[in-house]
Amino acid sequence: IATSGGGYRATMFGPGVLNAFDGRNKSAAAMGTGGLLQATSHMAGRSGGLLPVHSLAQANFPTIHGLIIGPPRPEANGRLPSEH
């Protein structure tokens, strides 16, 4: 899978595409694109497209939601953490 360059626009578009290819995403699996990410052996990115690829690799390939929001925290009870 290769994500294109293009600066900020590619940085925002790339995670959406990778999420659509992720078999852990129920809506992607229902549409038939889920699982392509898991079947991939190589990923590459150029310019802004490299940021989502690198972020996934360095975090050991969490879901896109998990990469952005972080792992679930039972003590949060469904709320986003507040800053103190």
Q: What is the pLDDT of residues 37-78, one digit of tens each?
A: 999 999 998 888 898 899 888 888 888 888 887 776 767 666
Residue 74 lies in a domain: no
User: Does residue 12 belong to any structural domain of this protein?
Assistant: yes
Q: What's the confidence (pLDDT) of residue 81?
A: 59
- For residue 80, being part of any structural domain is answered with no
DSSP string, 12-49: HHHHHHHHHT-TT-HHHHHHT-TTHHHH-S--EE-GGG
Whole-number Å distance between alpha carbons of 62 and 51: 15
Number of domains present in the structure of the chain: 1
Question: Is pLDDT above 60 for 84?
Answer: no
The answer to whether residue 82 is domain-embedded is: no
79 located within any domain = no
Is 38 a member of any domain?
Answer: yes
Provide the residue range defining the domain that includes 17: 2-69
Q: Is residue 59 part of a domain?
A: yes
Distance CA 66, CA 78 (A): 14
- Which pLDDT score is estimated for 22? 92
